[in-house]
Chains A and B, each alone.
Chain A
Amino acid sequence: MDNMKLPKEKVGDFLAKLGKEKFRVPQQMEGSSKFAPLNGESNADFTLSNTTVPPKSIFYPQTETLYRYNVGETAMEAPGEVDEMIIMGIRPCDARALSTVDKLFTWDPVDPYYKSRRDKATMVGLACQEPRTNCFCTSVGGGPASTEGLDILMTDLGDSYLFQVLTEKGEKICQEAGDILVKSDDSDVQAAEKLHNDAAQKIVRGIDSQDIPEKLPQLWESEIWKKVSDPCLGCGACTFLCPTCHCFDIQDEVEGLEGRRCRVWDSCMFKEYTLHTSGHNPRPSRRERTRNRINHKYSYFVDKFGVIACVGCGRCINLCPVNIDILNILSQVKEAL
Chain B
Amino acid sequence: MADLEKLITVAKETVSRDDVKYLIGWRQGTYGFRVSPHFITEPEEADKLIFSPLCSNNLATYLTLVEKLPVPRGQEADTRKIALMVKGCDSRAVVQQLVEQGIKRESVIILGCPCQGVVDLAKVEEKFPAGLEQVAARWDDGKIVFQFSDGEKAVPREEVLADKCLRCRYPNPVLADTLLWEEVEAGSSSDEYADVSELEAKTPEERWSFWEAQFSSCVRCYSCRNVCPMCYCEDCILDRLNPTWVNRSNNISENTAFHLSRAFHLAGRCIECGECERVCPVNIPIMTLNRKLTKEVREKFAYEPGTDPASKPLQASYRPNDQENFIL
Chain A interface (Cβ < 8 Å from any Cβ of B): 29-32, 34, 52-53, 62-63, 133-134, 204-205, 227, 230-231, 233-237, 240-241, 249, 251, 253, 262, 264-267, 270, 272, 284-286, 317, 319, 321-325, 327-328
Contact = CB atoms under 8 A, between A and B. Distances in A.
Given A32-B217, A133-B132, A322-B57, A286 B67 contact: yes
A264 B249 contact: yes
A266 B221 CA distance: 9
Contact of A237 (B31, B34, B67, B221): B221
A241 B222 CA distance: 12
Contact of A62 (B226, B250, B278, B284): B250
Contact of B219 (A205, A234, A240, A253): A240
Given A234-B226, A237-B281, A262-B249, A29 B39 contact: no
B30 A30 contact: no
A157 B65 CA distance: 50
B84 interface: no
Given A32-B217, A205-B132, A319 B30 contact: no
B69 A284 contact: yes
B250 A233 contact: no
Given A204-B132, A234-B226, A284-B69, A62 B61 contact: no
B37 interface: yes
B39 A231 contact: yes
Main secondary structure of the interface of B (DSSP, over half): loop
Interface string B217-244: 1011111011100000000000101001
B16 interface: no
A233 B57 CA distance: 11
Contacts of B279: 233, 235, 237, 321
Contacts of B74: none
Interface string B27-58: 00111101111110000000000000000010
B214 interface: yes
Contacts of A264: 248-250
Contact of A133 (B32, B225, B226): B32
A28 to B, nearest CB: 11
A314 to B, nearest CB: 10
A323 B67 contact: no
B302 interface: no
Nearest to A250: B248
B37 A236 contact: no
Interface of B: 29-32, 34-39, 57, 61-62, 65, 67, 69-70, 130-132, 213-214, 217, 219-223, 225-227, 239, 241, 244, 247-251, 275, 278-285
Main secondary structure of the interface of A (DSSP, over half): loop
Contacts of B278: 321
Given A62-B250, A205-B132, A325-B30, A319 B281 contact: yes
Contacts of A317: 30-31
A32 B282 contact: yes
A323 B219 contact: no
Contact of B280 (A29, A31, A253, A322): A31
Ranked nearest first, the 10 interchain pairs of A and B with the lowest CB-CB distance are A31-B283, A321-B279, A32-B282, A235-B223, A236-B221, A323-B36, A231-B37, A230-B39, A323-B29, A233-B226
A134 B129 CA distance: 12
Most B CB atoms within 10 A — which of A34, A52, A237, A272? Answer: A237
B227 A321 contact: yes
A133 B247 CA distance: 37
A233 B61 CA distance: 9
